């Protein structure tokens, strides 16, 4: 409700209709002054006033009466109950079998399934079901999402970016971990740690079983023993197998002079060299589509 000092909507429109003729006839500088004056009088934003001045008519449109509701709460309750029994599937899959499933559930529990409700369930559209489910989906309790306060604390303070391709000093390594898991990543399976030196192109690999602390540290120790020059920088992605408190402490305590950096999230080109070598030196995870795949076997032999 406007106060005594504020204009009502009708009063503003009446004032703007009078200013409209002056605005149309005015030049650019005068239009700017008129907008400033209208902004002070009406309290509207300058962009809103500009839009109103360029409208064909300043008459208020009559409010359109919304369409009456066709499906009552009885139908909505049945739809939600069937949706819960079908494990919260989408409206596209739920709608075709809505009536048969409601009739099946009515044999075991009271759903309030009358002849009128059955007739409405038979002709209800997919879009209407989606609107009903959308309302109830927002009311469901969700598991806590991983926000900024729950992000991986081990990555804090580690700079993001990429190692320059023209760097002349050896020892700056891009790092990646390749899975050899076949069709499923569940359980314990083999991985390959790969390091690529950006300056020289020197590559080293180590096969590890699992990606826990001891396996990863053992793989890195075998690689460090074979390198002809010291490691100055490690640049992996943001995976927890690289950035956890145990491994970060390992690089700080046991290997001196190593700088940690990381790729930007969802930017695989930040590790472009090691990603390329995953295809030529190690069997990529996309090759291992089935156990015993020949390219996967060759990749595992290279890693070993």
Contact 153, 257 (CB under 8 A): no
128 and 78 within one domain:
yes
The backbone region for 114, taken as left when phi is positive above 0, alpha when psi lies in -120 to 50, beta otherwise, is beta
Kindly state the average pLDDT of the residues 77-84: 92
* Domain end (from 107, 139, 171): 139
Average pLDDT over residues 23-36: 90
**Residues in a beta bridge with 197:** 173
State the total domains in the chain: 3
Which residue reads 């009502």 in tokens? 8
Q: How confident is the model at residue 293 (pLDDT cuts 50, 70, 90)?
A: very low
Per-residue model confidence (pLDDT) at position 238: 86
Which of 258, 210, 205 is closest to 230 using CA atoms?
258
Supply the pTM of this predicted model: 0.47
CB 180 within 8 A of CB 268: no
Q: State which residues form the domain around 21.
A: 9-53
User: What is the rounded CA–CA span in Å between residue 101 and residue 85?
Assistant: 9
Does one domain contain both 99 and 208? no
- Asked if 172 and 294 sit in the same domain, the reply is yes
Which CATH number covers residue 201? 3.30.420.10
260 and 191 in a common domain: yes
Are 46 and 131 within one domain?
Answer: no
Which residue has better confidence, 256 or 180? Answer: 180
| pLDDT tens-digit map of 131-175 | 999 988 877 766 555 565 556 677 877 889 899 989 989 999 999
CA nearest 233: which of 257, 206, 250? 257
At 282 the pLDDT is 82
Mean pLDDT of 196-214: 92
**CA dist., res. 77 & res. 109, Å (int):** 13
**What is the per-residue pLDDT across 44-57, written as a single tens digit (0 to 9) for each?**
999 999 988 888 78
Is the pLDDT confidence value at 35 over 70? Answer: yes
Exposed e or buried b per residue across 107-135, where buried means at least 16 C-beta atoms within 10 angstroms of its C-beta: eeeebebeeebeebbeebeeebbeebbee
Check: CB of residue 194 under 8 Å from CB of residue 204.
yes
pLDDT at residue 154, as a whole number: 77
Residue 201 has pLDDT above 50, yes or no: yes
Same domain, 84 and 192: no
Would you say residue 276 lies in a domain? yes
């Amino acid at each position: 409700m406007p106060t005594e000092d504020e204009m009502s909507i009708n009063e503003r429109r009446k004032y703007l209709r009078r200013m409209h003729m002056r605005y149309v006839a005015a030049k650019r500088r005068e239009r700017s002054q008129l907008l400033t004056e209208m902004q002070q009088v009406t309290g509207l934003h300058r962009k809103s006033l500009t839009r109103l001045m360029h409208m064909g008519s300043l008459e208020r449109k009559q409010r359109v009466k919304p369409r009456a509701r066709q499906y009552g709460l009885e139908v909505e309750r049945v739809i939600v109950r069937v949706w819960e029994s079908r494990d919260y599937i989408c409206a596209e899959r739920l709608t075709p079998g809505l009536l048969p499933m409601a009739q099946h559930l009515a044999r075991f529990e009271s759903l309030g399934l009358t002849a009128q409700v059955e007739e409405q369930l038979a002709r209800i559209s997919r879009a209407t079901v989606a609107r009903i489910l959308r309302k109830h989906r927002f009311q469901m309790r969700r598991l806590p999402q991983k926000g900024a306060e729950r992000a991986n604390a081990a990555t804090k303070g580690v700079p993001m970016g990429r190692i320059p391709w023209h760097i002349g000093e050896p020892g700056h390594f891009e790092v990646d971990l390749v899975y050899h898991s076949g069709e499923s990543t569940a359980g314990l399976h083999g991985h390959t740690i790969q390091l690529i030196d950006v300056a020289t192109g020197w590559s080293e690999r180590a096969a590890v079983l699992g990606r826990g602390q001891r396996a990863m540290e053992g793989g890195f120790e075998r690689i460090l023993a074979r390198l002809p020059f010291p490691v100055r920088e490690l640049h992996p992605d943001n995976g927890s197998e690289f950035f956890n408190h145990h491994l970060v402490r390992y690089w700080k305590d046991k290997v001196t002079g190593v700088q940690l950096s990381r790729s930007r999230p969802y930017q695989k080109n930040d590790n472009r060299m090691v990603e390329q070598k995953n295809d030529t030196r190690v069997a990529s995870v996309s090759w291992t589509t089935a156990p015993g795949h020949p390219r996967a076997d060759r990749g595992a032999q290279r890693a070993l």
